[in-house]
Every structure is written in C-alpha cells, then in structure tokens.
A and B are shown apart, each in its own frame.
Chain A
Amino acid sequence: MNTLTRSLTQSLVVAVLFASQVADEEEALKKDLTAVIALHGLPCGQVVAVTELAESDYAASCRDGNKYRVYLNAEGRVVVEERT
C-alpha cells in the first residue's frame, strides 16, 4: 500500500466517523424535539427534519405534516409554536 492510498484510506475513515457522529447528534435532536412536542400535547408523531433557526431555536417538521418552531424563551421556558 503506497503512501497516497494510505492517506486516502485514513481520510475516508475520519470522514465516515465524523459523518456518523453528526448523524447521531441530529437523530438525538429529532428525538428530543419529538418528545418536547409530545409533552406539549401537540400532534406530530415523529420529527423527521430539523432546521436550526438560531441558538436553542429550531424548526421541526413532523411525519404527519405538522410543522413547529421549538425554542427557549427569555424566561427559560421551552415554547412550541405551530408554523404554517
């Protein structure tokens, strides 16, 4: 195995590991937001897509088509607002 092949292999492994970690974090966030929306008694099923709007402020799309904004307000409360 020459040096170039070895370097490419190492880079690929690092990239795969990094991508895997990012995917895990995103899945954890989706799960977290799913739980929060359910706690607020709102229909969702499962969050399938998340967009970060700002720090502690997310736009979540649910499997059933509902969309919500989930954020932490100034009083330290988690707020879930329906988005159209």
Chain B
Amino acid sequence: MHVAYSAVLLLMLTAGCVRAKPETPVSEPQSVATQPGTQQRAAKSAAPSKPQPAPAPAPSRAQKTPAPPAASKVAPPVAKAPASAPTLDLNALEEQRRATKAIGVFTKISLKNRVDDLLDRFGEYYEGKAKFTMTDLRRSYDLLMMKVLTLLHDEDQKLASAIVSSRQAIWDLLADPKTFATLRV
C-alpha cells in the first residue's frame, strides 16, 4: 500500500524531473502517422522500475517538413495525443518531491489520502467488487490531477507542466492490472 502510494504520489507531485524529448508540436501528426509504434514504446518506457536515459532529441524544426493535408486526414485518432511520452526517473522524482515547496505538509497528506482512496477504488475494480466503471475511475483520476495542477499552477509551473506531460504515462500504469498489481505490492 505504501509502495503504491509512494509511486503514484511521487509520479504526480514530482514529475518535474521528467526527462522528455524536446517539445514537438502536437499539431504535427506526421511523426505519429509515420511511426505508429513510437507512442506505445514510449509509454512502456515510463514504467517506474526501469529508469532510462533521456531519449535522443527529436529532429529540429528546420528538418521537419509540414505534413501534407492528405496525411492528416489519414492519421489515426491517436495522433491527437502528445507526440512523445516522457521517461520517468524515480530517484530524481524523489529529490524533487522533497524539494518542492509549492505544496504544504497538510496539503501533501490530504493528497496522499486522495491517492490512497483512488488506489483502493482501482483495487476494488480489479477484484470485481466495484459497481463503478473504468470511465468513472478515469474521471476520478482526472479530477485529482486537476486538483494537483491547480495547487501547483501558481507556485511551480515547471512541475505542473511536467505533470501534464506525464499524465498519460501515470494513467497507463494504473489502468493496466499487471502494472497496478506491482504498485500495490
């Protein structure tokens, strides 16, 4: 339980050390359309047990050519997601979590309570005891994220934007019963 809490809260509060590729404009579906496997691989690399070095930087803007209109029409819906999922480094995350002064002690404990509650709900869901759906869990997750981001927005915008970029990677950990089980150990 503590491990699960720590992992999720760490990911949520301390994603400031996320090492991501240089920002690629979301409006460029070209890279996603031409490399359909990229996103899945990147999401897998976000697993906490395997911190990895930062990926090679994306090509500079000068090297990119605008996608033809026809290409954007054939791009799958996945193209709307961020072009690259970040790589998470838990050791650096831990340091960031301790260092951040954007959130007070009571607020951190209160958020911990919320994370515990959410993890319990995931546990119920995977055990088949829940009456709610995965969509409900996603809604709860999004709401919790919004609360965290609201708290961080004024004080630590860098951390807030890093959390936004790793939001999907954290969800992927929770939404997969296998990775969730490893978090709960």
**Majority SS at the chain A contact face:** helix
A36 within 8 A of B: yes
Contact A39 B114 (CB under 8 A): yes
Measured between alpha carbons, how far is A78 from B116 in the docked complex, in Å? 12
Supposing A76-B109, A78-B109, A78-B110 touch, asked if A39 and B147 sit within 8 A by C-beta, the answer is yes
Nearest A-chain residue to B103, judged by Cβ: A35
**A39 cross-chain contacts in B, Cβ below 8 A:** 107, 110-111, 114, 147, 151
The prevalent SS among residues of B at the interface is helix
Chain A residues bordering chain B, tally (CB within 8 A): 14
Chain A CB within 8 A of B113 CB: yes
Complex Cα distance, B165 from A51, in Å, reads 39
Q: How far is the CA of A24 from the CA of B171 in the complex (A)?
A: 37
Binary contact readout A6-45 vs B (1 if CB under 8 angstroms, 0 otherwise): 0000000000000000000000110111011001100000
- Proximity bits, B96-121, A CB within 8 Å = 1, else 0: 00000001111101110110000000
From residue 39 to 84 of chain A, which have CB atoms closer than 8 A to chain B?
A: 39-40, 70, 72, 76-78
Q: Are B113 and A77 in contact (CB under 8 A)?
A: yes
With A35-B151, A39-B114, A39-B147 as known contacts, state yes or no: A72 contacts B104, CB within 8 Å.
no
State which residues 109-150 of B face A: CB under 8 Å: 109-111, 113-114, 147
Smallest CB gap from A77: residue in B: B113
> Chain A contacts of B104 at CB under 8 A?
28-29, 31-33, 35-36
A-B contact pairs, 16 of them (CB 8 A): A28-B104, A31-B104, A32-B103, A32-B106, A35-B106, A35-B151, A36-B104, A36-B106, A39-B107, A39-B111, A39-B147, A39-B151, A77-B113, A78-B109, A78-B110, A78-B113
| Residues in A lying within 8 Å of B, measured CB to CB | 28-29, 31-33, 35-36, 39-40, 70, 72, 76-78
